C-alpha cells in the first residue's frame, strides 16, 4: 500500500491532475465526506487528509510514504529524513514582510531599530532578519497575523501573500518580499527504498506534469532573441 498525505483545499485540488497523470483517481470528494482516508482507483494507493503543517510529520515518521506540502511548512518543520525530489510549482505564493501603511519600515531598518514582528513562521522570519542584521523580537501567532500591527501587538508581520487581498482588506502593505513559495513533493526515505517501483512511478508522473505545465525555454521571448 502506498499512502499519500495531502491537505484539503488548494494542495488537494492542484495535486489531482498530477495523480491523474500517474493513473490514480481519487474516488471520494473530501468536501462531501468527513472521511480522512480516501480510496483511489488503484487499490494499492490511498490518500490521507491531514493539516498542512502535519504533512512533513506524517511523511517523516512513516504515517504516509509521500506527501505534498508548501515550502514554507517544510522550512519551518525541517526536512530531516525526508527526500525532496520535486518542486511541484503549485500553490504558488510568496512570504513577505507587511506593515501598516503609516509605519516607516525602511527607516526603522536603516536606523537599526528593534522591530516587533508577529508571525506563524518564526524560523523563516528569524533567518531572514538575522541575515539582514536586523534586531527583532519575534511574537509567535497561530492565525490572523494581520491583526497584530492593527492592534499595536507588533510593528510588522511575516506572512504568506498570494493576491494581496487579505493585506489590502486590513490596510496593510507588503514592505519586503522574503521568498517565493510553492508546494514540494516529500518522500519518506525508507519507503523510497522499500517501495521503490510504485513510488518512482508517482514521482515520474508528477515530474512529467510539472514540465508539461511550464512554458518551454525556447518559447520565451528572451530565448528567441
- Return residues touching ligand AMP (CB under 6 A): 10, 70, 91, 93, 159-166
Least Å from the CB of residue 109 to ligand AMP: 23
Q: How far is the CB of 150 from ligand AMP (least distance, A)?
A: 14
To ligand AMP, the closest distance from the beta carbon of 51 in angstroms equals 12
| Gap between the Cα atoms of 22 and 25, Å rounded | 9
Q: Is residue 97 a contact partner of residue 174, using CB atoms and an 8 Å limit?
A: yes
Q: Which is nearer to ligand AMP, 45 or 125 (CB)?
A: 125
CB of 68 to ligand AMP, least distance (A): 11
Burial label for 189, CB within 10 Å (0-12, 13-18, 19+), is: middle
Q: CB-wise, 148 or 191, nearer to ligand AMP?
A: 148
User: What is the smallest separation between the CB atom of 91 and ligand AMP, expressed in angstroms?
Assistant: 4
- The string of DSSP letters for 59-112 reads HHTTSSSEEEEEHHHHHHH--TTEEEEEE---S-EEEEEEEETTS-HHHHHHTT
Q: With respect to ligand AMP, which residue has the nearer C-beta, 143 or 215?
A: 143
Between 22 and 91, CB nearer to ligand AMP: 91
Edge-to-edge strand ranges of the sheet holding 93-100: 136-140, 115-119, 156-161, 93-100, 172-181
8 Å CB contact between 175 and 98: yes
Comparing CB distances to ligand AMP, the nearer of 167 and 187 is 167
How many angstroms separate the Cα of 13 from the Cα of each of 16, 30, 96, 132, 155? 6, 10, 25, 37, 35
Q: How far is the CB of 25 from ligand AMP (least distance, A)?
A: 24
* Residue 222 three-state SS: helix
All three cell numbers of 100, joined, read 501598516
* Of residues 74 and 187, the one with the C-beta less far from ligand AMP: 74
Amino acid at each position: 500500500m502506498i499512502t499519500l498525505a495531502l491537505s484539503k483545499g488548494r494542495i488537494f485540488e492542484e495535486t489531482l491532475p498530477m495523480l491523474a497523470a500517474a493513473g490514480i483517481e481519487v474516488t471520494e470528494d473530501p468536501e462531501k465526506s468527513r472521511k480522512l482516508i480516501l480510496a483511489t482507483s488503484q487499490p494499492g494507493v490511498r490518500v490521507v487528509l491531514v493539516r498542512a503543517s502535519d504533512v512533513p510529520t506524517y511523511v517523516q515518521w512513516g504515517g504516509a510514504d509521500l506527501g505534498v506540502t508548501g515550502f514554507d511548512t517544510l522550512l519551518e518543520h525541517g526536512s530531516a529524513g525526508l527526500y525532496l525530489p520535486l518542486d511541484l510549482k503549485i500553490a504558488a505564493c510568496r512570504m513577505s514582510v507587511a506593515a501598516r501603511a503609516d509605519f516607516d519600515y525602511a527607516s526603522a531598518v536603516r536606523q537599526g531599530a528593534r522591530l516587533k514582528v508577529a508571525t506563524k513562521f518564526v524560523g523563516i522570519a528569524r533567518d531572514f532578519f538575522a541575515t539582514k542584521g536586523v534586531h527583532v523580537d519575534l511574537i509567535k501567532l497561530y492565525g490572523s497575523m494581520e491583526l497584530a500591527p492593527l492592534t499595536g501587538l507588533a510593528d510588522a508581520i511575516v506572512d504568506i501573500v498570494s493576491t494581496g487581498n487579505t493585506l489590502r482588506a486590513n490596510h496593510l502593505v507588503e514592505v519586503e518580499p522574503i521568498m517565493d513559495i510553492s508546494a514540494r513533493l516529500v518522500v519518506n526515505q525508507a519507503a523510497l527504498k522499500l517501495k521503490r517501483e510504485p513510488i518512482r512511478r508517482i514521482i515520474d508522473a508528477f515530474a512529467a506534469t510539472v514540465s508539461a505545465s511550464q512554458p518551454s525555454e525556447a518559447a520565451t521571448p528572451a530565448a528567441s532573441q
